[in-house]
Amino acid sequence: MMSDADSDSDVVEVKPIAGIGTKVFGKWDASEVTCRDPGLAPYINLTTVGVPHTGGRHANAWFGKAKLSVVERYINKLMRTGAYTGKKMGAMKAFEGALDQIAERSGNNPLQVFVDAICSAAPMEEITRIKFGAVSQPKAVDSSPSRRLDVALANLAKGAQQGTHKSKRTLKNCIINELNKASEGDVTSYAVGKKEELERIAASAR
């Protein structure tokens, strides 16, 4: 007969993502946030000290980006193209304003919405091309957790950027829209749509 202790040990506990006590933007406690994807959990780093700006000190280190906060990595992705190219303070204020509004509407920690959006947008499989002689064939491969996180952040940022094109909507509103849709797994989200498309192509190339 199984004891209560044995039955309790079989339950997988979702542990909060480790933080150092400093709140993101001085407002939200990262230690309250949980990640439902066990593969991504070790790579989602929400630790931050004051302003999320490290000046690229981990750029040349082996897997140095794993030490960066995902908040800073997302802000850096927002600066890749468009009107916010190289404007870190502008991108930072837009993201902070988006988190403020998400918290005001939902009453919950907006970092949880951000992490849920990352989990929903991270593809499990991708396509690579393998050459047999002169013939190149597509082949499905599993994505590493670090790669999954990179792709998710890039697509979430690109989805927010594209929402501002030929539109009067601000970057802040587009970030709110993209994160809310992605956190719910809505396929109308750019990031979730790209994930579904990539996994569908990979499934056909197995």
Q: Say whether pLDDT at 200 is over 60.
A: yes
The pLDDT score that the predictor gives to residue 20 is 43
Map tokens 């590493």 to a residue: 144
Residues 6+ apart with CB under 8 A from 56: none
Q: With respect to CATH, is domain 4-204 assigned 1.10.1200.10?
A: no
Mean pLDDT of the chain: 85
Give the integer Cα–Cα distance in Å for 72 and 24: 10
The yes-or-no verdict on residue 99 having pLDDT over 50 is yes
Report, as an integer, the average pLDDT of 131-143: 88
DSSP for residue 169: -
| Residue with more model confidence, 96 or 12 | 96
The CA-to-CA distance between both ends of the chain, in Å, stands at: 44
Q: What would the pLDDT profile of 4-41 be if each residue is shown by its tens digit?
A: 555 555 555 665 554 444 688 888 888 888 898 999 98
Residue 163 has pLDDT above 70, yes or no: yes
pLDDT of residue 1: 52
pTM over 0.75? The answer is yes
Across 139-161, average pLDDT: 92
Domain boundaries in the chain?
4-204
The rounded percent of the chain whose pLDDT value lies above 70 is: 89
Q: Per mean pLDDT, which range of 84-88, 92-96, 160-164 is the poorest?
A: 84-88
| Residue 19 pLDDT | 46
Residue 166 tokens read as: 């030929």
Q: In this structure, what are the phi and psi dihedrals at residue 80, rounded to the nearest 5 degrees?
A: -65, -50
**Per-residue confidence band for 63, with pLDDT thresholds at 50, 70 and 90:** confident
**Distance (Å, whole) CA 102 – CA 139:** 40
78-86 mean pLDDT: 80
Is 50 exceeded by the pLDDT of residue 93? yes
